[in-house]
Copies of this chain bind each other. A is one copy, B any other.
Amino acid sequence: MAESISVSVVGASGYSGAELLKILSRHPHARIDRVFAGASAGKRVDEVHPWFRGGLDLVYESYAPELVDGSDLVFLALPSGEAMAIVPELLERNKRVIDLSGDFRLPDPAVYRKYYRREHAATHLLSQAAYGMPEWNREAIRSSRFVANPGCYPTSAILPLAPLLSEGVVGDSGIIICSMSGVSGAGRGGSVETSFSEVNESVRAYKVGTHQHIPEIARGLELASGRNVSLTFTPHLMPITRGIYTNIYAPIAADVDEERIAAIYRLHYGDEPFVRWSAEAIPEIRNVTHTNYIDIGFRIDRENGGIILLSAIDNLVKGAAGQGVHNMNILFGFDETEGLL
């Protein structure tokens, strides 16, 4: 185990990047080396995010690969499409990389092209990326030097569903996922669509049936449970800053009862530090805000032969930066909860 590591963050001016800086700055074994940004290069971090005033004495730089030579780990908090341009040079320079973008989560470049609407620029590295969901891929992460950190919606959907698929108590088709996300998930930027006056006092679905997280959810479920599933996913934008709430409907065998479900969650998640499940309590976003927890609840709908799974996460923590630091802790042999409780 390293005593302490040096970490750089590329794309550190957005919301996920800033959340990463917040967690890393309190982490006992990490030292933030350099922080990179595009338009904000040259500005102090606490000028762009004044929340950090008094706590973080760093200036955004323009990224260049040689600038991270002194770093043990590089986090990429870039938009999808930008990460794949710099991952190759980082891996060639022997850096460990945790990529928060969607660029390396889908093993098949054709699927990437279909959902991200661009060609993949580093297909030779797709097979090297470990999907960074500790609960289901811990050993692969541990032995990897390149982690593709999961998306926010997939985290909220895979974790509740994977154990039930894995144990064969739910069917693998007819899975319906209805998710609602806070606005920070759309990133930091100025658009009419995410302006306060358009989002406030409203709700709307978007990218219905076409969202890039659809194949990632399917792939993550396959990775975790070994089963191929077909699913329908509808994301919604709602007027909160942080948080994702997810509903999952899945067909269930007639003889499966609440105790069996509870036993399955206990089996799979009993030792997991960041999964809280309950057979009674209904998750609420405010219970997980600013934490790395996922809260999972469920109800069996006997009349219709289905189960309703409910989950809540903080999209910037468990859905991005927190899960990223969890992966960092695994990569470097730190206690998994370090910096995250």
Residues of B within 8 A of A201 (CB): 201, 240-243, 285-286, 289
A286 to B239, CA, bound (A): 12
Q: Which DSSP category, helix, strand, loop or mixed, fits chain A's interface?
A: mixed
- The answer, yes or no, to whether A282 is at the interface (CB within 8 Å) is yes
A258 adjacent to chain B (CB < 8 Å): no
- Our pick among B204, B232, B245 for the contact of A249 (Cβ within 8 Å) is B232
In the bound complex, do residue A276 and residue B310 qualify as a contact, i.e. CB atoms below 8 Å apart?
no
Per-position 1/0 for A165-196, Cβ under 8 A of B = 00000000110101010111000111111111
A231 surroundings in chain B (CB, below 8 A): 304
Question: Given A204-B284, A341-B55 in contact, is the A239-B176 Cβ separation under 8 Å?
Answer: no
Q: CB of A266 within 8 A of chain B?
A: no
Which one of B191, B206, B308 contacts A190 once the chains associate, using CB atoms below 8 Å?
B191
B residues in contact with A209, CB < 8 Å: 299, 301, 308
A284 to B50, CA, bound (A): 9
Are A190 and B195 neighbours in the complex by a CB distance under 8 Å? yes
Instruction: Give 1 or 0 for each of A286-310: 1 = CB within 8 Å of chain B CB.
Output: 1111110101010101011010101
Residue A159 is within 8 A (CB to CB) of chain B in the complex:
no
Q: Chain B nearest CB: distance from A202 CB in Å?
A: 4
Residue A236 lies at the interface, judged by CB distance under 8 Å to chain B: yes
Q: With A180-B180, A194-B197, A196-B195 in contact, do A51 and B202 touch (Cβ < 8 Å)?
A: no
| Identical chains in the assembly | 4
* A182–B195 CA distance with the chains assembled, in angstroms: 12
- A101 CB–B CB distance under 8 Å: no
Question: Cβ of A54 and Cβ of B183 under 8 Å apart?
Answer: no
Closest residue to A210 on the B side, CB-wise? B299
* A205 interface residue per 8 A CB criterion: yes
Query: Are A239 and B196 in touch, CB under 8 angstroms?
Result: yes
Please give, as numbers and ranges, the residues of chain B lying within 8 Å of A306 by CB-CB distance. 176, 232
- Can you report 15 A-B residue pairs in the complex whose CB atoms are below 8 A from each other? A51-B291, A53-B276, A53-B287, A196-B199, A196-B200, A196-B239, A197-B241, A198-B286, A201-B240, A202-B243, A202-B289, A203-B243, A208-B308, A208-B310, A234-B247
Interface pairs A-B: 9 shortest CB-CB = A178-B178, A202-B286, A190-B190, A204-B284, A190-B191, A183-B196, A203-B245, A50-B287, A196-B199
List residues of chain A with CB under 8 Å of any chain B CB.
15, 50-51, 53-55, 173-174, 176, 178, 180, 182-184, 188-206, 208-209, 230-232, 234, 236, 238-243, 245, 247, 249, 276, 281-291, 293, 295, 297, 299, 301, 303-304, 306, 308, 310, 312, 341
